[in-house]
């Protein structure tokens, strides 16, 4: 993680205790889950998708859409819930999305989504907890 101070901070040991090994790899080491592997990809109930690392509400279900990519996709996050940075890994330049509260890696945002925003927040499902309404 970078030197940015987040409202929720934990030691590496605390993160490893709180998260599954897959969540730790994705959220703390900037990994990616296998496409189509998360049950939240098919979640259609009304509710909120929250950060699995700190429980911060991130995305409302009304802006979730099927992108065909194999990852949960959203038009827009809840206000102030995520931050972005430039990711130059893997020979690409992408915009990384991370939780504004704990800094955990969530996924990436791309400019190829549907209206109203034209954005596609492509999020690793294991980085999310679904809270039904």
- CA 90/CA 127 separation, integer angstroms: 21
User: Which residues, in sequence order, are CB contacts of 119 under 8 Å at separation 6+?
Assistant: 75, 76, 109, 110, 111, 113
Say if strands 82-87 and 94-99 run parallel, antiparallel, or are unpaired.
antiparallel
Give the active site residue among 38, 54, 99, 122.
122
DSSP3 helix / strand / coil % (the chain, rounded to 5):
20, 30, 50
102 given a catalytic annotation: no
Q: Which residues are catalytic?
A: 122
């Amino acid at each position: 993680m970078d030197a940015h101070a987040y409202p929720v901070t934990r030691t590496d040991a605390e993160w490893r205790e709180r998260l599954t090994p897959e969540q730790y790899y994705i959220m703390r080491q900037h990994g990616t889950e296998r496409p189509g592997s998360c049950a939240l990809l098919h979640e259609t109930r009304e509710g909120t998708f929250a950060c699995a690392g700190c429980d911060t509400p991130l995305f409302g279900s009304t802006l979730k859409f099927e992108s065909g990519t194999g990852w949960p996709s959203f038009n827009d996050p809840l206000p102030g819930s995520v931050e972005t940075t430039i990711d130059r890994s893997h020979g690409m330049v992408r915009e990384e999305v991370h939780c504004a509260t704990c800094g955990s890696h969530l996924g990436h945002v791309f400019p190829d989504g549907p209206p109203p925003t034209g954005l596609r927040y492509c999020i690793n499902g294991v980085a999310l907890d679904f809270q039904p309404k």
